[in-house]
């Protein structure tokens, strides 16, 4: 604030810059006179015709990516199915462990001699 007051006291509030009379009235005409009258060169932004193999390369690339995605999804689903099957098999194996077989044989009142005779084919 002190600095502003010092500057205003020293220089005053009068604008030191001036514009000649009618400067902006004729500005447009003077600028247009300085523009060259030559026609500008028109440059086409349309792409040049691509060769035959370039026309199909995008389609081929998209098909390859689609095939890779399908194979990946198929493998993933097979892995999930096989892992589910293996987990079911593991639960079945643990359900039929030795203790269960022993309990089932005891309940049916079958002893080891009966099992041996049955498996050997001699019957009961």
In this structure, what token pair is assigned to residue 18? 């001036």
Q: Per residue of the chain (124 residues), what is the pLDDT tens digit?
A: 788 888 888 888 787 788 888 888 888 888 888 887 777 777 777 766 666 767 778 888 888 898 888 888 777 766 666 666 666 666 655 555 666 777 777 777 777 788 778 788 766 5
Residue 76 CA to residue 80 CA, distance in Å, equals: 6
Residue 89 CA to residue 95 CA, distance in Å, equals: 10
Phi and psi of 76, rounded to 5°?
A: -65, -45
Residue 46 CA to residue 3 CA, distance in Å, equals: 60
* pTM, full prediction: 0.28
């Amino acid at each position: 604030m002190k600095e502003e007051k010092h500057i205003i006291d020293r220089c005053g509030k009068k604008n030191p810059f001036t514009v000649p009379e009618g400067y902006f009235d004729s500005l447009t005409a003077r600028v247009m006179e300085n523009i060259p009258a030559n026609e500008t060169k028109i440059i086409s932004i349309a792409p040049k015709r691509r060769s035959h193999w370039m026309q199909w390369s995008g389609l081929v690339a998209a098909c390859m990516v689609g095939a890779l995605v399908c194979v990946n999804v198929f493998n993933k689903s097979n892995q999930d199915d096989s892992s589910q099957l293996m987990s079911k098999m593991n639960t079945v194996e643990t359900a039929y462990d030795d203790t269960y077989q022993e309990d089932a044989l005891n309940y049916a009142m079958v002893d080891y001699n009966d099992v041996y005779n049955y498996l050997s084919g001699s019957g009961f």
